[in-house]
């Protein structure tokens, strides 16, 4: 297979090598893509802001950076250029160009969308969506937040948050929303999770990009207080019977050779009917990852801040 791969498209490959030597440009290939820059030589400062990357599609598969980089540099300074590659040495028909400014990115779309790179061959150029969120489907009910976060930190990089949800379509199955620090980190994570045959709770994981409609529904659920029956149940969390829940949590931790739990809360939303939405984080020294999320509590009508109720609910 390697002899066959090396024999494909030799003329254009040699032209690429000659161009690299003449220009001194260094291309790095990793995880199915070949990259220039990120940052390029001589770059000063941090990376460009959002909205500076464009998607390039419908490329001839035997066209390489010696043609593409000078072409796309003609409308603005490139910060990074990524060409997706096959194992045979052909490109996969698409690439990403990230510019130093948003204006240069707009110029690239205006200049090169439907541009004829060869006689009769036009390409597509548009603003890159920069997706950063993945959805992991059909997780077993036994899968915990701690187990999921620990696995993701082992096999992926750049994970910012993990939220578990009960799936309404598959009985009591769970799904998880994974948010990464960048589109590139999310892309590499998706590939690692799908191609690495990662298992969780005995089953192979299945990962896709988070659908826009589902993301909207989840955001609406977060902004809405829980149903009345759940609210009534939560109001019991501050009753004297359950006030010792923190002691119980710490006693459980002691038996597991863990130190006392630290609970941090921050009120992020106040409803006119007295319901408060809190962000929380639980740090248990000895446990590898913290637990975080959101919860609703109701004020007791005596002007209390709600932090104590939130801590009990979280615990």
Residue 84, domain CATH: 3.30.70.330
Predicted pLDDT at 54 = 93
Q: What is the DSSP letter of 197?
A: T
Q: Which of 196, 220, 244 is the last residue of a domain?
A: 220
Using alpha carbons, select from 206, 95, 182 the residue that is nearest to residue 133: 182
Predicted pLDDT at 200 = 74
For the chain, which ranges sit under pLDDT 50?
1-4, 170, 227-243, 303
Residue 242 located in a structural domain: no
Same domain, 66 and 113: yes
Backbone dihedral angles phi then psi of residue 37, each to the nearest 5 degrees: 75, -150
Same domain, 14 and 123: yes
First to last CA, the chain: 57
Q: In whole angstroms, what is the distance from residue 97 CA to residue 111 CA?
A: 14
Q: Tally the C-alpha atoms within 13 A of residue 116's C-alpha that lie toward its C-beta.
A: 3
Q: Which of 127, 156, 179 is the last residue of a domain?
A: 127
Query: Residue 100's CB: how many other CB atoms inside 10 A?
Result: 20
Residue 244 located in a structural domain: no
- ∠ CA(252), CA(150), CA(141), 5° rounding? 70
Q: Which of 220, 240, 266 is the last residue of a domain?
A: 220
State which H helix or E strand residue 312 sits in: helix 307-314
Same domain, 215 and 277: no
Same domain, 260 and 289: yes
Same domain, 149 and 102: no
Predicted pLDDT at 144 = 82
Residue 178 located in a structural domain: yes
Same domain, 209 and 169: yes
Same domain, 144 and 107: no
Residue 149 located in a structural domain: yes
Q: Which domain, by its residues, includes 144? A: 133-220
In Å, how far are 8, 23, 315 from 252, measured between CA atoms?
63, 64, 11
Give CA 152 to chain center in angstroms. 11
Same domain, 142 and 107: no
Same domain, 158 and 72: no
Same domain, 23 and 64: yes
Q: Which two tokens stand for residue 199?
A: 């298992």
Q: Which two tokens stand for residue 290?
A: 């913290």
Same domain, 210 and 303: no
Q: In residues, how long is the chain?
A: 315
Q: In whole angstroms, what is the distance from residue 27 CA to residue 22 CA?
A: 13
Structural domains of the chain, count: 3
């Amino acid at each position: 297979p390697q002899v066959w791969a090396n024999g494909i498209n030799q003329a254009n490959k040699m032209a690429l090598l000659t161009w690299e030597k003449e220009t001194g440009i260094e291309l790095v290939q990793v995880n199915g893509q070949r990259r220039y820059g990120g940052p390029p030589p001589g770059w000063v400062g941090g990376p460009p802001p959002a909205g500076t990357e464009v998607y390039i599609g419908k490329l001839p598969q035997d066209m390489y950076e010696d043609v593409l980089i000078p072409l796309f540099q003609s409308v603005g300074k490139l910060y990074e250029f990524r060409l997706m590659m096959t194992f045979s040495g052909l490109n996969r028909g698409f690439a990403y160009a990230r510019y130093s400014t948003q204006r240069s990115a707009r110029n690239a779309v205006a200049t090169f969308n439907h541009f004829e790179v060869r006689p009769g061959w036009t390409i597509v150029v548009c603003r890159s969506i920069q997706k950063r969120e993945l959805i992991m489907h059909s997780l077993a009910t036994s899968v915990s937040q701690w187990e999921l976060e620990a696995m993701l930190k082992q096999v992926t990089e750049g994970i910012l948050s993990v939220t578990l949800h009960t799936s309404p379509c598959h009985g009591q199955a769970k799904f998880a929303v994974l948010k990464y620090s960048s589109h590139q980190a999310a892309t590499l994570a998706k590939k690692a999770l799908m191609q690495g045959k990662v298992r969780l709770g005995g089953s192979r994981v299945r990962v896709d990009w988070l659908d826009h409609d589902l993301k909207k529904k989840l955001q609406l659920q977060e902004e809405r207080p829980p149903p009345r029956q759940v609210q009534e149940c939560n109001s019991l969390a501050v009753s004297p019977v359950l006030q010792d829940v923190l002691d119980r949590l710490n006693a459980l931790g002691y038996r597991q050779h863990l130190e006392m739990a630290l609970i941090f809360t921050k009120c992020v939303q106040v409803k006119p009917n007295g319901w408060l939405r809190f962000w929380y984080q639980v740090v248990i020294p000895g446990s590898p990852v913290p637990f975080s999320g959101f919860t609703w509590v109701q004020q007791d009508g005596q002007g209390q801040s709600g932090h104590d109720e939130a801590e009990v609910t979280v615990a």
